[in-house]
Structure 1
C-alpha cells in the first residue's frame, strides 16, 4: 500500500511575473515535497494563480484561476487543507482589495471545514483598522500561523490574534537551493567581479536611482567590474534598470554592464545571484537570494521588510529611498568587493540558522496533515 495522498491548495501572489513571489511558491513546493517524502505522505499541490496554465507548466503542479470563484471553491472542496502565503499578502499599501481577497479565500476554506495554514507571511502595513477584526477572526481559526519577522507577530498581537501557536520563521526563500545543472551553466565568462543590482521604481523623482547610478559609476571607475542588472518584476524592473544604466553613462574601458532579462524560473534567477560577487538590492528577495548563496550584499530600504530581513543578519540598510548617501554606498561596495571572505565568514552561522528555520512551516504543516491521515486510518480500522 502506497503513501497516503493529501491535496493542499496554495494561495498567494502567484502567476503575476514577480520573481520574488514565484521564488516563494517554488520554495514552498520544494519544502512540502521534501517533508512529504520524509514523513511518508504524498503532497499534491493545487496552486491558485492568475495564469494557471503558465504556473502548471513551470512547476509541474495542478493550478486553477485565482479569480474564478467556481474553480476556486471546487479546489477547496477537494483539498485537505489550504496554505496561505508566503509573501506580503495582508497589507493595504497596494490597494484596499488585497486583504479582503486573501481573507476571503481563507474564510471559504474554513466554512468548508478545511484546516488553514499561514506560511511565513509578512503582515502589514495595515493602515485601515477596519481590517483588524476580520484578520483576528480568520487567523484565530487557523490550524497553524507562522510569520516571517517579529514585527509581523507584534502587529498581529495588536489586532488580537492569539500569540500561542504563532511562530516567527524566516522567509521560505531562504531554504531554496540552486539546481546544480543551472549553477554550472552560469559560470563566469571573465575574471572581473560581478556586481548584481536589483532595483525598482519608488520615488516619483527617481532620486534614489540617480544616487545609486552615481555610486555604481564611482565603483566602476575604481575597479574592473561587471555591473549586472537583475530585474525581479517584469516589466517595471526592466525599465528601472534601464534608467540606472542611462544615468551611469559610458563606463571606463576596464568596466562593463549587462542585464539579464526574461528570467522566469526562480532557480534560474537564484543561480544568477549566486554567480555574483556582490549584490546591491532594493527587492527583498534579491537580498534573500544573495544571503542564501553566501553572496555579500547591500540593501537599499524602501519598506520596513527590507530592514527586518537585514536585522536578522545583523546588518542595516546601506541607504534608503528617503536618505541616500552615494559616497557611503560606494565605500561599502568597495569594502565588500575587497573583503568578500570576511563577510562570508562573519555571516555564515546566521545564514545557516535561517536556512534551517525556513523549513519549519513545511515540517509542521505536513506533520499536522499526516496526523490527520493516521487518525482517519485508525477510525476506519475500528
Structure 2
C-alpha cells in the first residue's frame, strides 16, 4: 500500500507514518501527547506485527530527534513536509487542540492544510484524539469538514468535539470518542529519588499548575489569595509546575510573590526539564494538585493524584466531567474558603477521592490506546 513497506529481520512489517501536531515548541502538554502517541504506536504496532517508523513535523527537528530518537522534519518547510509525506504510508494529525481558532486564525488552515496535502498525495490520514473547537469563524467549518470526511479514521478526545464535528457535517458514526493519549503515558523507567529543593517530609506536597490568561492578571490574583488562605489554614509545601516555559514559570513567580506570610508553609518552582515523563514523575509525587493546565489535570488522573481544576476553557470542564469532577473555580471567580475546604478534604481523605474516581480513571487509561490500535490495524 505504501512506498516504504518492507519486513525487518524479526519479521515485523515496517510502516512509515508522518505525525503532525504542535511539536517542538517545548510545551510540556503537547510534548506529552507526542510521547504518548509514540509509545502507543510502538506497542500496538508490535502486537499487530508492525514496526511503525514515525516522522514528526516539528518547529525544531533537531530537538525533537534528540528528545525522542525519531526522525523529524521542519513543519514550516513545505518541501521537507511534502517529501516526508510522499515517502510515508500515512499521516496522523494529533492530538491536542489543533483545530480551533481561539489562539490564532492560522491554526485551522495550517493543520487542515497538512491533512489535505497528504490526501492529495494519496495517503490515508488519521485524526488522533483531537480536541475540536472553539471554531468562531464559520468559513473554517468547510476546511475541517473536507479533511475529516476524507480521513480513514477520526478520533476526538471528548463528546463536545464529536458534537461539533457532527454539526459541521462529519457523519457521527465515523467519529470515535477516546481519552487524551496522555492518560496512557507511563512513568520513566528509571525514577530518580523523591524529594527536591525545600523538601519538607512532614508537609503535604501540593502541585500547582498555573498559566497567564487574563491580560489584567486578575485571575492569578484570585489564585494567589486562595493559596494564601490555604497557607494560613495549614502548613503545606506548594510546588509550582511550569508546563509551558518560560510563561508558566513567570505566572508562578508572580503568584508566589503575592502569597503573603507563608507561616509554616513553603513554596518553590519545579525544574523537571523538557522530558514530559519527568513532569509526570513530579505530579506523581504530589499529595494533591491544583491545576489550570489541562495536561496537569490529565497527569494527575494518570497517577491517581487527587486534584482540583481551575477552568479557563471548556476543555477543562470536559475533562473533569469525564472523571466525575467539576472545577473548583474559574478565571473569573474562586472562593478562597471553598478552595481551602476542598483542598483540606483531598489532603485528609485521599483514598476516599481515589475510590470515588478510580473506575472512571481506569477506563480512560484503558481506552487511551484505541486510536493507535485502529491505525495499526489499518496500516497492516
Question: TM-score interval w.r.t. the shorter chain?
Answer: over 0.9
Counterpart residue number, 1:117: 126
Match of 2:323 among 306, 310, 313: 313
Say if 2:361 is the partner of 1:351. yes
Counterpart residue number, 2:260: 249
Counterpart residue number, 1:289: 299
Counterpart residue number, 1:230: 241
**Number of residue equivalences:** 368
Give distance in 2, aligned partners of 1:301 and 1:53.
35
Secondary structure (helix, strand or coil) at the match of 2:332 reads: coil
> Cα distance, 1:250 vs. partner?
3.2
Counterpart residue number, 1:210: 221
Counterpart residue number, 1:96: 105
Counterpart residue number, 2:44: 35
Give distance in 2, aligned partners of 1:335 and 1:7.
49
Cα displacement string for residues 84-140 of structure 1 (whole angstroms, at most 9, x for unaligned residues): 000000000111111000011000100111000000000000000001112111110
Counterpart residue number, 1:271: 281
Say if 2:139 is the partner of 1:136. no
Q: After the TM superposition, which residues 11-22 of structure 1 pair with which residues of structure 2 at under 5 Å, given as runs?
A: 11-22=20-31
Secondary structure (helix, strand or coil) at the match of 1:217 reads: helix
TM-score (norm 2): 0.95
Say if 2:178 is the partner of 1:176. no
> Cα distance, 1:164 vs. partner?
2.1
> Cα distance, 1:322 vs. partner?
1.8
Counterpart residue number, 1:380: none
Gaps of 5+ in 1: 371-382
Secondary structure (helix, strand or coil) at the match of 1:45 reads: strand
Secondary structure (helix, strand or coil) at the match of 1:247 reads: coil
Give distance in 2, aligned partners of 1:129 and 1:261.
41
> Cα distance, 1:43 vs. partner?
0.6
Give distance in 2, aligned partners of 1:363 and 1:263.
30
Match of 1:107 among 110, 113, 116: 116
TM-score (norm 1): 0.94
- More helix by percentage: 1
Counterpart residue number, 1:185: 193
User: Against the structure 1 CA distance between its residues 305 and 294, is the aligned structure 2 distance closer, same or farther, given a 3 Å change threshold?
Assistant: same
Counterpart residue number, 2:4: none
Give distance in 1, aligned partners of 2:155 and 2:99.
13
* RMSD across aligned positions (CA): 1.1
Give distance in 2, aligned partners of 1:249 and 1:368.
57
Give distance in 2, aligned partners of 1:369 and 1:355.
24
Cα displacement string for residues 214-270 of structure 1 (whole angstroms, at most 9, x for unaligned residues): 211222222221100000001110110001101102311x21111113620000000
> Cα distance, 1:185 vs. partner?
2.5
Counterpart residue number, 1:369: 379
Secondary structure (helix, strand or coil) at the match of 1:43 reads: strand
